[in-house]
Structure 1
Amino acid sequence: MSVRVRRVYDPAEPEDGVRVLVDRLWPRGLAKDAARVDEWPKAVTPSTELRRWYHAGGGSYEEFAERYEAELAADEAAEALDGVRALLRKGDVTLLTASKTPQQSHATVLARLLQA
Structure 2
Amino acid sequence: MRPDISIKRIYEETDSHDGYRVLVDRLWPRGFTKEKAHIDEWATEIAPSTATRLAYAHVPERWDTFKIQYKNELLNNEQLISYLDKWEEHPIITLLYAAKDKEHTHALVLQEYLIFCYNFRK
TM-score range, shorter chain: 0.7 to 0.9
CA displacement at 1:71 relative to structure 2? 1.1
* From 3, 7, 10, the counterpart of 2:9: 7
Tell me the CA shift for residue 62 of structure 1: 1.6
Q: Deviations over 1:6-55 (max 9, x none)?
A: 00011111111110000001000001011001111111011111111101
Q: In structure 1, what is the equivalent of residue 101 of structure 2?
A: 101
Q: Which runs of 5+ in 1 are unaligned?
A: none
Partner of 1:17: 19
Counterpart amino acid of residue 5 in structure 2: V
| Distance change (3 Å), C-alpha of 1:115 and 1:57 | same
Identity of aligned residues (%): 35
User: Which structure 2 segments of 5+ residues have no match?
Assistant: 117-122
Take 2:94 and 2:73, find their aligned partners in 1: how far apart are those partners?
A: 21
Q: CA offsets per residue over residues 81-102 of structure 1, 9 Å max, x none?
A: 2233234422110000001013
Aligned residues: 113
Q: Per the alignment, in what secondary structure is the counterpart of residue 49 of structure 1?
A: helix
Deviating 4+ runs (over 4 angstroms) = none
- The structure that is helix-richer by fraction is 1
Higher mean Cα deviation, 84-93 or 22-31?
Answer: 84-93
